[in-house]
Amino acid sequence: MSPITFLIMRRMRTPLLMLICAYAVAVLGMVLVPGPTLDGVRQQMSFLHAFYFVTYTATTIGFGEIPYAFSDAQRLWATFTIYLTVIPWFYGIGAIISLFQDPAFREARTRQGFVRDVRRIRERYYLVCGFGDTGSLLVKALTERGRRAVAIDIDPQRVNALAIQDYDVYVPGLCADASLPENLMDAGLKSRRCHAVVALTNRDQVNLSVAIAAKLLHPGLAVISRVGNRDAAANMASFDTDHIINPFEAFAEHLAMALRSPGTWLLHEWLSAVPQTALPEPRYPPRGGWIICGYGRFGKAIHREMKRAGMMTVVVEADPDRTGCKNCVRGRGTEEETLAAAGVFDAVGIVAGTDDDANNLSIVMTAKSMNPALFVVIRQNRHANDALFRAVEADLVMHASESIVHEVIALITSPLLSRFLARSRRESNAWANEVLARITAVTEDVVPDIWEVRIGDRQARAVGREVAGGNRVAVGDVLRDPRDRTGVLRCVPLLLARGETVTLMPADGEPLGFGDRLLFCGLARAETLMTWTLQDDRVLDYVLTGRPVTQGHVWRWLERRARRRESIDPSRV
Amino acid sequence: MNPEKVVFGFFILLAATLNFGFCIGEIDNPVHHSPYELFAAIVVNLIATVLKFGDRTQMGATQLATSLVADLGLITAAIIWGVSTYGMSQEITPHAMAAVVSFASGALFANVTSVVLLVVETVTLRR
């Protein structure tokens, strides 16, 4: 029994008992009290009439004296009946109303509604713990792609914000502590439709408990977690959290990659940008002396990666003792003297990386007025300040929430892409440039769409059958244009995954096996056309052999017969 | 002694006895079956039902179910009586009376089950 029904029954026990007793006394009295004498016969009220009379009297409807005018004794009893029954009615109604206003009851009701909403989701969904800056961005990005999400946050204000947000699909939200397993289970952690858990709260400890709960209660479920420091990351990695995102470290590595091998960096930028928008203009960070303002988590990560990339760095920090920064320039970086002392006139770039947006903007504006040629990297802390950060025209904006969301979306929508990007980091810059050239050749100026194909899945049914039947289908065959097989679709195969082995940029002659997974990037149009080849036996047959596509059962039957005869009698071929 | 148990047991037993008292006699003879007794049986049964509200144990749930069945049988019997008296003719026919008593007997079976459950619960109570 649900807690709500239980609560209602429990609370309504006394009012109902009172009502039953009052009715019983009133009805019985009505039956026993002598009625008027009609035609010399004393009338007595029957149970039916008595119950009827009491019913309309108790509910204050009052139809009058039925079935005949009452005797005085009956009127006396009727008066008593009115007071006896009307009061329990009001008491009962009052009890119900006060129950509905009871905070505990309302809490139980919202939770039950939430659990029901989650159970009603028929598609795969993602459980997002923490609905702050990052969580709301992620939920927005998920719903825009038609994915379902469920959100938990401990702050009632944020849950209210979720309720009034206008998402494309309904997102159930619960105001509860995500670190308690009970709340996670109410949010459908153990459901087979729950596809991944994303822990995005601002406290590492909570994210840690979410990850542990998910690993224990739903083994095999993908767990993505955000962390703020390296200890927590190591802790999570120790029990196989699938993806640990440390936005500061990730950005610092990204920046270092831009310095070390610009081609690989640009490849990352292109493949993780929003498809069908204009390709981002490459802005390669220059090599030389850099100023890092702020030596917090972000500043430290940048400092380390810059060192590794062989850059000269000067750190500007307002509180060197607390952050443990040795030989740095003391100051916030917002004043001209500090920046001059840090060597702003000779530096090639500046990183405004404090945890205060106003300070970061101020640093950038001051530094730019002193040395307009500076390459500017700025850290954005709050999503609400978006307009300001666009206006300041920095070369690179590090927005922790946004980069987490980018990464999570990439992990969720295309696991192969993350594998491709991870592997590409090990390749040389020249290799990356070659890939870039191939991508530009097919997509021109827009960010390519990215899609995955699994041979044997429903969307690649025809190829799956062909391959399972022992026939040879190569990567190049899939790339042919199904309208004219001499043409080639405008897309690039990025990766071929067969079990654990991964081939980057598979060659056209590479044969496909059942269960292989392919990652493509290219025009959305190419994806639609490719679906034809992948799904339709006849189109695939045309693409492989060049035989025209025949329609209709009769022709296909004749064709099959002819082919069978050919195979039986080789002399006729 | 638990006063709640006393009240509870009292109403369950009273419901069963009243129900039995109503059912006893020739099945189609209206003289053998008092409408007052049926009324009392209905009221006591309803009270017994409400008393079981909000009991979260397995036994409580089963008790509630048997009580609801008894209510259903008795109220149906009362409706048949009322309709056949006022809807059809002035005097209740033996046929209708037999229907009333058979419904009430069905309710009696449910009430007996209630009593059995009560006894079982009491016996298994280790105090």
- Homologous superfamily assigned to A448-547: Regulator of K+ conductance, C-terminal domain (3.30.70.1450)
Question: Does residue A197 register a pLDDT over 80?
Answer: yes
Residue B126: per-residue pLDDT: 62
Cα nearest neighbour of B57 on chain A: A1
Residue A3: per-residue pLDDT: 73
- Pick B43's closest partner by Cβ from A1, A16, A24: A24
Tokens representing residue A216 in the block: 């224990």
A47 vs B35: CB contact, 8 Å cut-off? yes
What percentage of chain A reaches a pLDDT higher than 70?
Answer: 97
Same fold, A254-415 and A448-547: no
From B50's Cα to the closest Cα of chain A, the distance in A is 6
B50 vs A20: CB contact, 8 Å cut-off? yes
What percentage of chain A reaches a pLDDT higher than 90?
Answer: 13
Domain A123-245 falls in which CATH fold? Rossmann fold (3.40.50)
Question: Does residue A186 register a pLDDT over 50?
Answer: yes
Dist. CA A533–CA A508, nearest whole Å: 16
- Pick B56's closest partner by Cβ from A6, A13, A21: A6
Task: Tell me A448's DSSP state.
Answer: P
pLDDT digits (tens, 9 = 90+) for A4-17: 787 788 888 889 99
State the architecture of A3-101 in CATH terms.
Orthogonal Bundle (1.10)
Q: Inter-axis angle of helices A524-535 and A461-468, to 10 degrees?
A: 40
Question: Does residue A26 register a pLDDT over 90?
Answer: yes
Domain span holding position B102: 3-124
User: Binning pLDDT at 50, 70 and 90, where does residue A129 land?
Assistant: very high
Dist. CA B83–CA A39, nearest whole Å: 25
Parse chain A into domains and list their residue ranges. 3-101, 123-245, 254-415, 448-547
pLDDT digits (tens, 9 = 90+) for A217-243: 988 888 999 888 788 888 888 887 788
Which residues in A lie closer than 8 A to residue B46 (C-beta atoms)? 20
State residue A494 phi and psi, 5-degree precision. -90, -35
Contact A61, A89 (CB under 8 A): no
A225 vs A151, A209, A210, A241, A289, CA distance in Å?
14, 10, 9, 8, 34
Position A42: which residue type?
Answer: R
A20 vs B78: CB contact, 8 Å cut-off? no
Instruction: Supply the pTM of this predicted model.
Output: 0.68
Does A25 contact B at CB distance below 8 Å? no
pLDDT digits (tens, 9 = 90+) for A49-93: 899 999 999 888 888 888 888 988 999 999 999 999 989 999 989
Q: What rounded mean pLDDT belongs to chain A?
A: 85
pLDDT digits (tens, 9 = 90+) for A263-290: 888 888 888 777 777 777 777 788 888 8
Please tell me the CATH code under which domain A254-415 is placed.
Answer: 3.40.50.720
- Pick A13's closest partner by Cβ from B53, B82, B85: B53
ipTM: 0.81
* pLDDT (average), residues A420-427: 85
Dist. CA A158–CA A173, nearest whole Å: 9
Does A44 contact B at CB distance below 8 Å? no
Dist. CA A503–CA A474, nearest whole Å: 14
Dist. CA A115–CA A100, nearest whole Å: 19
Q: How many domains does chain B have?
A: 1
Which residues in B lie closer than 8 A to residue A1 (C-beta atoms)? 56, 61
Cα nearest neighbour of B34 on chain A: A47
Tokens representing residue A181 in the block: 């397993």
Residue A500: per-residue pLDDT: 81
Which residues in B lie closer than 8 A to residue A6 (C-beta atoms)? 54, 56
